[in-house]
Amino acid sequence: MTFFGLTLSVALVDILMLNVLLAYSAYAVFSIGRLNVAFIAFSGLGGYISAIMWSRFHLPPLWCICLAIGTSALLALPLAVLLMRVTSVYLAIATIAVAAIFQDLLVNFQSLTHGADGIAGLPIVAGLDVLAPCVAVVILGFWLVSRSRWGIGMILQRSDERLALSVGINVNLNIAVLFMISASVAALQGALTAFWYGFVSPDAYSFSTVILVIAMVLLGGSSQWLGPLAGACFLTLIPQWLEPFGVWSDVATGSILLIVVLLLPEGLVGRIATRRGLHRARMSEESKWRLGDRTVRVGPSPVAMGSSEQAIWATVARTAAGTVLDRQPTYLRDFDVIAEQPAHPAGSHELLQCDNLTVQVGGLQILNAVALSVRAGEICGVVGPNGAGKSTLLNVISGFTAPGSGSTRFDGSDISHVPAWGRARLGIGRSFQQVRLVDSSSVRLNVQAGALRSSKTSPSDPCETSSIVNILRALNIEEFEDWPIRYLSYGTRRKVELARVAAGRPKLFLVDEPTAGVSHAHILGIERLLRDEARRGCAVVIVDHDLGFIQRIASRVVVMDAGIEIYQGPPSDAFADRRVISAYVGS
Amino acid sequence: MEVQRTWDPSNGSYERSVRDFKTCIVQWSWYLEMVLLGVIISGILVGGVYALFSVGLSVLLGAMRVFNIAHGTILTASAFVAIEVARMTGWSAAPLLVVGAFTGMCLGIPLEMLAIRPFRRGKVFGGDMETGTMLTTLAFVLVGRDLITHFTQAQTWSFPFGSYPTFAVSLGALRVGVMYVIAFALSIVLILLAAVVLKFTQPGRAVRGIASDHRAASLLGINVNRYSLGTAMVSSGLAGLAGALLAMAFAGVSYDTGDNLLFLGFIIVVLGGIGSVPGTLIAAIALGIVESIGNFYSSGNWGEILAFALLVLVIVFRPQGLLGKPAIVRT
């Protein structure tokens, strides 16, 4: 069969399928941002186990393949545990070393592997009829995973591990499982290759194969389930297509690779996905504008604000918006906040109880015997000069920093030894001092992420989608639902991050500097969201430097200085306290 | 490593004498003294050239976050160009070494322009500069290796006899090929020079500034692109010089010499601590000794396996390298 001047022989299609399998085994771990290339060793292991089982024990090929997959998956687990904390290019170097060790062992264990000669004489049973279903099953599997909540978790983990932890994703478990999946697919590929060629030899598992497979995945797009398929097709077929050019064909392949990488840094499929996302955002934006014309908000909504300043701002903003845009930007509705005191749930139970928390780095005492207890429905503000240990306190409560001593009780049970992802699943939601979002994904996905591990409904469930829209509407950012994060302003990003935490329906809401660098309107919107959360019965702990904001919203204030709690009580008295004054402005 | 050992003090009689050393204790002690010393010294000498090769790799990775796979290809290409020039002109060793270094520097220019510069704000693999540059330099490797294979017919090339000194010099009781000594001395001098430049001069400070934060460096008026180009050229030039030296010391170079060295180079970089010039030197010499002893005493690849296992353990337990200080991570 000829195809654009390329003769597609059965052998070429078979090789293409084997390459696709190897590309997916690499993609399995690449998809969480880890450059693990040990797949080549597991491919070799699969091939050799099959060959040895067949030639020594005369097991049927199917058994050999199953045994190869099982053994590889088991061996991948300790490797994953060993390399858990190794990232970036260092993981690539380490796993290349593992692959090289494996290749050397193959040569050294003469009696078992026949050394450099390899094992020949295997039955050639893996034809297109075997390969095609295997490839189909693997691709189907990766497609299903990419649509599942696990797939969304993987996107989060790839983009930012701390963010993934904060929404309750067990990052280490994901690494281990994906290492095992990668090893299984690689072993399947190795065993099929053995039964396709009829022999195995150590040369097949070389550095150049690794490089080729990495290029396939990155070229296709390491964040798209279709990427490895596209990349494998490209790098298998293009050299074939250029074959008539003789020695220059490889030069041409290299040049094409360079050009494609320079022009399409997100990969072949990644580029298409980005284009589609942008298009969708533009479409929805246009429809919102049209909708905005028809369902014009009726007049200026009643402004019941405590301060005249807010009213002035609102008027100014509305006038400006009315003249310039002919339409009121939604975030200006943030001015409609109704100032009221948070409902004090008197006598409600203590949700969080920290005792004697101490954190020390080197000789520096960052937290010194800090105690904090927060009741459900309460808004507690934590203030203090820079370096007082406020963010560290939040990190300790959310499990991101292990305290040197002290205990944390949450909702009646001791959580001192629960990891960050476990605390998130128990209902401790947090935002970060520097906004952490998946920049390339839409607002919707980012907000859904918050609900990944806290509710049982799937993310495509309409009921959950509507709850996400509700949260976005409460923050007046619903028009950005389809937008990729990287096109949003800083204030909107802040709101999206808070929306993510709110989507998880936390029992304890930890907020780190929500107002830093955010304009007045957005602050009011954030304030309303936090009040709503408290009214729902959620305990809110806010770290912030905006004392006016804290005084408005908090029912209780904790003032810290140099790791020590210097004041705890109602916000009105905080700045009459002598120690607080001296901490802020000196005595 | 497929490097050929031209100076090899072993022969059958020594090895046999080891195996039944119970009967000839006297011979054994002589063997230990002389042969082990020789093996170690040859390891040290080779390690010097490895260091020359790895130091550019280390500084590029440390300062520019460039994972340069093409480093080995540049070494090979420069060595071949130097050999071709030697065949055409009949020059002596010193100008040929300059030709090798110059070729490397010239190859560094397209490398930086095409493979590194577009990635300073790249988006490949989630904006990971190391991974992005790995892919583009890989394209260089593919193109370069195929061109080299094509032009050299995959043959091993050597400098014409007489274009470099081949006599042996005495180091105490040992006799060593003079090229080894020259290569080692030249490598040490250049590496120390690189360390001094990085540590004490204004351009060196600029490069270290870029390593710590390239945005902040450019805000302070450092032309990051220019320094990136300069670093890539110097790094490639050192690789080219190492290529010419290796071709003379090992009496030949083939199309895959550089690729084989590359992995060794990354082991050295990681062991020595990324970006650290003294660390690279120490790690390279240590690895040269280990490799020399491993090749000499063991059958099979156990020395290589040991080196790789050591690499994995260092990456897992001491990611800052054997000599480096642990980095403080702030969130």
Nearest to A104 among B259, B304, B316 (CB): B304
- Find, among B249, B301, B278, B286, the residue nearest to B47 by Cα: B286
- A265 and chain B in contact, CB less than 8 A: yes
* Res A284: pLDDT: 56
Mutate to test the interface with A, among B64, B116, B120, B125 (most CBs of A within 10 A): B125
Distances (CA, A) of A479 to A474, A491, A529, B64: 12, 14, 17, 40
Q: Is the pLDDT of residue A545 over 60?
A: yes
Average pLDDT of span B118-133: 65
CA distance B135 to chain A (A): 7
CB pairs under 8 A between A and B: 130
In a domain, B326, yes or no: no
Q: Measured between CB atoms, does B256 come within 8 Å of chain A?
A: no
pLDDT at B48 over 50: yes
| DSSP letter for each residue of B79-129 | HHHHHHHHHHH---HHHHHHHHHHHHHHHHHHIIIIIIGGGTT--TTTT-H
What's residue B126's pLDDT? Answer: 55
Tell me whether residue B79 is in a domain: yes
CA atoms within 13 A on the CB side of A353: 8
Chain B residue closest to A86 (CA)? B316
C-alpha A437/C-alpha A451 separation (Å) is 14
Confidence of residue B7 (pLDDT cuts 50, 70, 90): very low
The verdict on A273 touching B (C-beta cutoff 8 Å) is no
Whether A89 sits inside 8 A of B130 (CB atoms) is: yes
Handedness of CA A451, A393, A86, B224 (dihedral sign): positive
| Region A350-585: CATH code | 3.40.50.300
Contact assignment for B301 to A265 by CB distance below 8 Å: no
* Mutation to test the A interface, candidates B120, B312, B314, most A Cβ within 10 Å: B312
Q: What is the pLDDT of residue B136?
A: 79
Q: Is the CB of A247 less than 8 angstroms away from the CB of B132? A: no
Shortest CA gap A379–chain B (Å):
25
Has residue A234 got a pLDDT over 80?
A: yes
Work out the minimum CA distance from B182 to partner chain A, whole angstroms.
Answer: 32
Higher pLDDT, A277 or A174: A174
Q: Which of A123-127, A244-248, A283-287 has the lowest mean pLDDT?
A: A283-287
Asked if residue B14 is part of any domain, the answer here is no
| CB contact A93 to B (< 8 Å) | yes
Predicted ipTM of the assembly: 0.75
* Alpha-carbon span A324 to A321, nearest angstrom: 5
Q: How confident is the model at residue B296 (pLDDT cuts 50, 70, 90)?
A: confident
Does the beta carbon of B67 lie under 8 angstroms from any beta carbon of chain A? yes
Say which range, A49-63, A131-145, A241-255, A572-586, has the weakest mean pLDDT: A241-255
Most confident of A114-128, A456-470, B40-54: B40-54
Suggest the residue from A98, A158, A159, A258 to mutate for an interface test with chain B (most B CBs closer than 10 A): A258
Q: What kind of fold does domain A11-205 have according to CATH?
A: ABC transporter involved in vitamin B12 uptake, BtuC (1.10.3470)
Asked whether this chain's domains A11-205 and A350-585 adopt the same fold, the reply is no
Contact A400 B308 (CB under 8 A): no
State CA B141 to chain mean position distance: 17
What is chain A's mean pLDDT, rounded?
82
The residue-averaged pLDDT of B104-117 equals 89
- pLDDT band at residue B329 using 50, 70 and 90 as cut-offs: very low
B79/chain A closest Cα distance in angstroms: 20
When pLDDT is averaged across residues B74-101 and rounded to a whole number, the result is 91
Residue B330 inside a domain? The answer is no
| B69/A contact by beta carbon, under 8 A | yes
- What's the structural domain count of chain B? 1
Contact A93 B308 (CB under 8 A): no
The pLDDT, as a whole number, for residue B17 is 46
Minimal Cβ distance to B131: which of A35, A105, A211: A35
**By mean pLDDT, which of A347-351, A353-357, B267-271, B284-288 is the weakest?**
A347-351
Instruction: List the single best residue of A90, A203, A398 to mutate versus B (max B Cβ within 10 A).
Output: A90
pLDDT band at B162 (very low <50, low <70, confident <90, very high): confident
Residues within 8 A of A (CB atoms), B 122-151 only: 122-126, 128, 130-132, 134-136, 138-143, 145-147, 149-150
Q: Which of residues 40-69 of A touch B (CB under 8 A)?
A: none
Least confident of A8-17, A276-285, A305-314, B33-42: A305-314
Which residues of chain B does A86 touch, with a Cβ-Cβ cutoff of 8 Å?
315-316, 319
Residue in chain A closest to B150 (alpha carbons) equals A247
pLDDT value of residue A88: 74
Q: Where are the domains of chain A?
A: 11-205, 280-336, 350-585
Q: Give me the numbers of helices (H) and strands (E) for chain A, helices first please.
A: 23, 12
- Of the candidates A501, A555, A498, which has an alpha carbon nearest to the alpha carbon of residue A525? A498
User: Can you give the pLDDT at residue B122?
Assistant: 53
User: For residue A465, what pLDDT band results from cuts at 50, 70 and 90?
Assistant: low
Residue B85: pLDDT over 50: yes
- A100 and B263 within 8 Å at the Cβ level: the answer is yes
Query: What's the rounded mean pLDDT across residues A200-225?
Result: 82
What are the helix (H) ranges across B273-329?
A: 277-297, 302-317
Report pTM. Answer: 0.81
The answer to whether residue B28 is domain-embedded is yes
Please tell me if residue A100 touches chain B, with a CB cutoff of 8 Å.
yes
Distances B288 to A520, B3, B5, B72, B195 between C-alpha atoms, Å: 64, 12, 13, 17, 20
Alpha carbon of B307: minimum distance to chain A alpha carbons (Å): 9
Residues B88 and B302: their CA atoms lie apart, in Å, by 42
Range of the domain at B238: 22-317
Helix (H) or strand (E) holding A373: strand A364-375
Residue B1: the pLDDT is 41
User: Residue B305: CB partners within 8 Å, gap ≥ 6?
Assistant: A101, A104, A105, A108
* B60 compared with B134, residue with greater pLDDT: B60
